[in-house]
Amino acid sequence: MPINLKDSAAIEKMRIAGKLAAEVLEMIEPFVKKGVNTAELDRICHDYIVNTQNAIPAPLNYGKTTTRAGFPNATCISVNEVICHGIPSKTKTLKSGDIVNIDVTVIKDGYHGDTSKMYIVDKALSFNERLVVVAQECLYKGIEVAKPGNYLSNIASKIAKHARNSGYSVVEDYCGHGIGTVFHEEPQVLHYPEAYNNLKNDIQLVEGMTFTIEPMINAGKKTTKLLSDQWTVVTRDRSNSAQWEHTILITDTGCEVLTKRNDETF
Ligand code: MF3
Ligand code: CO
Ligand code: CO
Q: Tell whether ligand 1 has an atom less than 6 A from the beta carbon of residue 114.
A: yes
Give pLDDT < 50 ranges for the chain: none
Q: Which residues contact 85 (CB under 8 A, 6 or more apart)?
A: 71, 76, 78, 231, 232, 233
Report if residue 265 sits inside a domain.
no
Using the CB atoms, write b or e for 16-48: b if 16+ within 10 Å: bbbbbbbbbbebbeeebeeebbbbbbbbbbbeb
Which amino acid, one-letter code, is at 34? K
Report if residue 263 sits inside a domain.
no
pLDDT of res. 198: 81
- Please give the helix or strand (H or E) that residue 87 lies within, else none: none
Classify burial at 49, counting beta carbons within 10 Å of its beta carbon; exposed 0-12, middle 13-18, buried 19 or more.
buried
Report if residue 266 sits inside a domain.
no
Record the pTM: 0.98
Q: Tell whether ligand 1 has an atom less than 6 A from the beta carbon of residue 62.
A: yes
Report if residue 29 sits inside a domain.
yes
pLDDT tens track for 83-92: 999 999 999 9
Q: Tell whether ligand 1 has an atom less than 6 A from the beta carbon of residue 180.
A: no
Q: Tell whether ligand 1 has an atom less than 6 A from the beta carbon of residue 112.
A: no
pLDDT of res. 3: 94
Report if residue 20 sits inside a domain.
yes
Report if residue 57 sits inside a domain.
yes
Report if residue 87 sits inside a domain.
yes
pLDDT tens track for 85-116: 999 999 999 999 999 999 999 999 999 999 99
What is the distance of C-alpha 130 from the center of its chain? 19
Q: Which residues contact 46 (CB under 8 A, 6 or more apart)?
A: 57, 60, 73, 74, 75
Domain count, the chain: 1
Dist CA 29 CA 78 (whole Å): 15
Residue with CA at minimum distance from ligand 1 atom 7: 59
Residue with CA at minimum distance from ligand 1 atom 12: 59
CATH code for the domain in which residue 250 is found: 3.90.230.10
- Choose one of 71, 82, 190 to mutate for the ligand 1 pocket test, by most ligand atoms within 8 angstroms of C-beta: 71
**Structural domain for 170, as ranges:** 8-257
Dist CA 26 CA 4 (whole Å): 30
Report if residue 250 sits inside a domain.
yes
Ligand number nearest CA of 116 is 2
Dist CA 8 CA 205 (whole Å): 17
Q: Tell whether ligand 1 has an atom less than 6 A from the beta carbon of residue 59.
A: yes
